């Protein structure tokens, strides 16, 4: 019997949890907020319950500036090098695998990133999960020990762009690339539900 009010509300939160690539620099993200977001990961399932992921918090202007050059942004935007000065993230969480505990993390990385980004959205923050980055240089910039292997970098801050989902009504054709319209709105094609189900 669907839907319950809480299910509807959760669906709205999921729909609002979009990748943000331009941020409002006037809104700071404190270390306390970063700690609270990482705290959510303790409730996630963990393969073999090893819990081998660790997080390096990055919130000072100096460390944010040192990390930024090693990130790649929005691969479908060939003529865009990422957020300009005045649009950059206020903070980052660098997800690392502690190789003293495990050589892989199974599905833990995605589960934890979803928990953090959903939590950030409830606080009015936007986020962008970044996989395309220079891991050795990022590790060097943040003085990570050798056994901490960066897996993802999560950019965080107050959204300074509008993001809209398109295509869920069945209008999505072959092209799933996100795009920006002249007004600066970022559009994200998503496949309709019927396309996800196997008869």
- How large is the average pLDDT for residues 48-65? 98
Q: Which one-letter DSSP state was computed for residue 90?
A: S
- How large is the average pLDDT for residues 84-111? 97
Q: What is the reported pLDDT for 99? A: 98
| Cα gap 68→121, rounded to integer Å | 22
- pTM (2 d.p.): 0.95
* In the chain, ranges of CATH 2.20.180.10 domains: 162-199
Question: Which tokens is 113 given?
Answer: 């990133």
**8 A C-beta contact, residue 71 and residue 58:** no
**8 A C-beta contact, residue 21 and residue 74:** yes
**Superfamily, domain 20-160:** NADH Oxidase (3.40.109.10)
Of the options 3.40.50.920, 3.20.20.70, 2.20.180.10, 3.20.170.30, the CATH number for the domain spanning 162-199: 2.20.180.10
Check whether 3 has a pLDDT greater than 90: no
Condensed to tens digits (0 to 9), the pLDDT of residues 11-27 reads 999 999 999 999 999 99
Q: What is the reported pLDDT for 171? A: 67
| Cα gap 112→115, rounded to integer Å | 5
Tokens 């935007």, residue located:
77
């Amino acid at each position: 019997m669907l839907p319950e009010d809480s299910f509807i509300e959760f669906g709205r939160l999921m729909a609002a949890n979009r990748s943000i690539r331009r941020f409002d620099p006037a809104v700071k993200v404190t270390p306390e907020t970063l700690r609270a977001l990482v705290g959510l990961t303790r409730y996630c399932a963990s393969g073999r319950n090893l819990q081998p992921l660790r997080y390096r918090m990055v919130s000072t202007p100096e460390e944010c500036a040192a990390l930024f050059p090693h990130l790649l942004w929005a691969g479908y935007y060939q003529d865009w090098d990422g957020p300009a000065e005045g649009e950059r993230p206020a903070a980052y969480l660098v997800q690392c695998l502690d190789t003293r505990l495990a050589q892989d993390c199974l599905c833990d990385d995605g589960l934890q990133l979803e928990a953090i980004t959903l939590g950030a959205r409830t606080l009015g923050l936007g986020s962008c999960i970044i996989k395309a980055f220079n891991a050795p240089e990022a590790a060097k910039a943040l003085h990570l020990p050798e056994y901490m292997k960066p897996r993802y970098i999560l950019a965080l801050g107050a959204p300074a762009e509008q993001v809209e989902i398109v295509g869920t009504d069945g209008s999505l054709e072959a092209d799933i690339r996100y795009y920006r319209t002249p007004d600066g709105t970022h559009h994200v094609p998503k496949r309709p539900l019927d396309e996800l189900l196997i008869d």
